Amino acid sequence: MTDQEKSTWIYNKTLTQKDNQHGDFLDSLKTQLSLDQKISEVSFSTSELKSWQSKIEKREIYYECVYYELYDEDYWDREEGYEYNDPFGINLSILKALQTAKEWAAAKQYQKAADLYDWLCTIPFGGFDSERKEWLDEELDLERLVEEQVVQVELKQIGVQLLYAHYQALPMEKRPACFFRYLSWEMFGEIKIENVFSLELKDVPLFIEKWIVFLRKTSGDRAGELLTEACLFSGGINRLCEEAEKNAAMHPILFENASKFYYDNDLFLECERIGLKAIDKLAENLVVRNRIAELTIKVALQLDHKDQIAKLYEAAFHSHSTVPTYLRLFRLPDYEVVTKRAANYAKSVPNLVAIKVSNAASQLNENGLSAENKQLIRFLIMNLYLFKACVKETIMT
């Protein structure tokens, strides 16, 4: 944090304090403003650390919290939340603990360092409402403390150091599952595999291959993202395309990510090629297939490959059956045949309310169509000739 950022933070925090709390708040900053200088000089002894951890776990030390509401001119436009005070010096102790873990890792006491990092990231720090005289229902873990700007640490850096310590402490066969556990945490969502392997580690190529094998068998969007990253790290876009073909059933998102890679790098011919391959390879009812088709439509139009458009329009409708994707079929020269075929297909699409949607595995979400939209498509095809002359001007893009 720069000096200017510190000044702005102090000013904004002071504004939220009650009049009789300004002095106490500013006094509490004397310790906080010197943490950057102290962190390189202090760490815990083993006995001190155990004592501090015990006090945290037993809630003998905690953050004191005061609920506040700030009103603007409009009563309903207000800010509310908690102000956190640190009478027991927990912030400084967190930094000391992090420094201790770092020193243990440097001394090759990797398991001790890994365990301490894990404890710091998972332990709930107590929060006590000093006005209501009750404990907060919400747990104050390290991620929450950073979000609330109670303590200023870099979660990404902590995550990298945690993974480094575990990598060194564990045998090869246990490393992939361990990495996946931590990289699935939202607080470590910004960590890339190259961040970890920018450090000096042994047997990285072997680990990457075992990592890829592990991720192939692991379901979910996060596994798909990590598998994409591992393929690009180890073999570039060619490795990703090869893996996409091998693992289309478990991780169709690999095809989408390969398409995006080519598109973002203006490699439109390659984007079209992998997109068409994905459409042939993936299950027709997957919504991700529609997204790939839509991106492939963009590049096909830019390349003026009109011979591919009919196939792509139909694929997009079959994988995400909506009124807009149906109306777009009227752009095709043989739209009468195509729209009738699509209307018949729509009858077989499951009702939208019966489709299971997963946020954790959205790459496997399936196509669905509401009863109302089925009726609308049926109406459109039955009254085809009423709007044949003007449909090209009125369809949605």
In this model, does residue 300 exceed pLDDT 70? yes
Assess whether 69 and 105 both reside in one domain: yes
Whether 253 contacts 365, CB under 8 Å: no
Q: How confident is the model at residue 42 (pLDDT cuts 50, 70, 90)?
A: confident
264 within a domain of the structure (yes/no):
no
Longest CA–CA span in the chain (Å) reads: 85
49 within a domain of the structure (yes/no):
yes
In this model, does residue 2 exceed pLDDT 70? no
- What pLDDT is stored for residue 361 in this prediction? 84
pLDDT tens digit string along 220-270? 999 999 999 999 999 999 999 999 999 999 999 999 999 999 999 999 999
- What pLDDT is stored for residue 345 in this prediction? 95
Assess whether 163 and 132 both reside in one domain: no
367 within a domain of the structure (yes/no):
yes
SS3 state of residue 135 = strand
Q: Which of 150, 169, 191 is the last residue of a domain?
A: 150
CA quadruple 27, 33, 37, 40: dihedral sign: positive
Q: How confident is the model at residue 5 (pLDDT cuts 50, 70, 90)?
A: very low
Token pair belonging to 266: 């203006």
Crossing angle of the two packed helices 287-302 and 309-319, in degrees rounded to 10:
160
Q: Please, where are the H alpha helices in 307-349?
A: 309-319, 323-327, 335-348
- Amino acid type, 141: D
Q: How confident is the model at residue 396 (pLDDT cuts 50, 70, 90)?
A: very low
Assess whether 238 and 318 both reside in one domain: no
Q: Who wins on pLDDT, 20 or 303?
A: 303
CA 210 distance to own-chain centroid:
23
pLDDT tens digit string along 72-102? 666 666 677 889 999 999 999 999 999 999 9
CA atoms within 13 A on the CB side of 10: 18
Find tokens 């004592």 and name the residue.
51
Q: Which of 91, 119, 150 is the last residue of a domain?
A: 150
260 within a domain of the structure (yes/no):
no
In this model, does residue 364 exceed pLDDT 60? yes
Q: Which of 150, 176, 195 is the last residue of a domain?
A: 150
pLDDT tens digit string along 97-144? 999 999 999 999 999 999 999 999 999 999 999 888 999 988 899 999
55 within a domain of the structure (yes/no):
yes
Assess whether 29 and 135 both reside in one domain: yes
SS3 state of residue 63 = strand
Assess whether 30 and 139 both reside in one domain: yes
- What pLDDT is stored for residue 255 in this prediction? 98
Closest CA to 372 of 322, 329, 328, 325: 322
Q: How confident is the model at residue 37 (pLDDT cuts 50, 70, 90)?
A: very low
Assess whether 310 and 388 both reside in one domain: yes
What's the domain range around 179?
Answer: 154-249
In this model, does residue 335 exceed pLDDT 60? yes
Q: What is the mean pLDDT of residues 147-172?
A: 96
Q: How confident is the model at residue 217 (pLDDT cuts 50, 70, 90)?
A: very high
SS3 state of residue 78 = strand
CA 80 distance to own-chain centroid:
26
Assess whether 26 and 95 both reside in one domain: yes
Please tell me the pTM assigned to this model. 0.82
- What pLDDT is stored for residue 357 in this prediction? 65
Instruction: State the chain's mean pLDDT as an integer.
Output: 87
Q: Please, where are the H alpha helices in 107-192?
A: 110-122, 142-147, 155-169, 175-183
Q: Who wins on pLDDT, 184 or 11?
A: 184
Find tokens 């990598």 and name the residue.
167
- What pLDDT is stored for residue 73 in this prediction? 64
Q: Which residues pair with 135 in a beta bridge?
A: 128
Q: What is the mean pLDDT of residues 198-214?
A: 93
- Amino acid type, 185: W
Assess whether 158 and 240 both reside in one domain: yes
210 within a domain of the structure (yes/no):
yes
Assess whether 241 and 345 both reside in one domain: no
Assess whether 91 and 71 both reside in one domain: yes
308 within a domain of the structure (yes/no):
yes
The number of domains in the chain is: 3
171 within a domain of the structure (yes/no):
yes
Assess whether 81 and 62 both reside in one domain: yes
**% of the chain beyond a pLDDT of 70:** 83
Assess whether 116 and 44 both reside in one domain: yes
In this model, does residue 356 exceed pLDDT 80? no
Q: What DSSP designation does 358 have? A: -
Least confident of 126-135, 257-266, 309-318, 376-385: 376-385
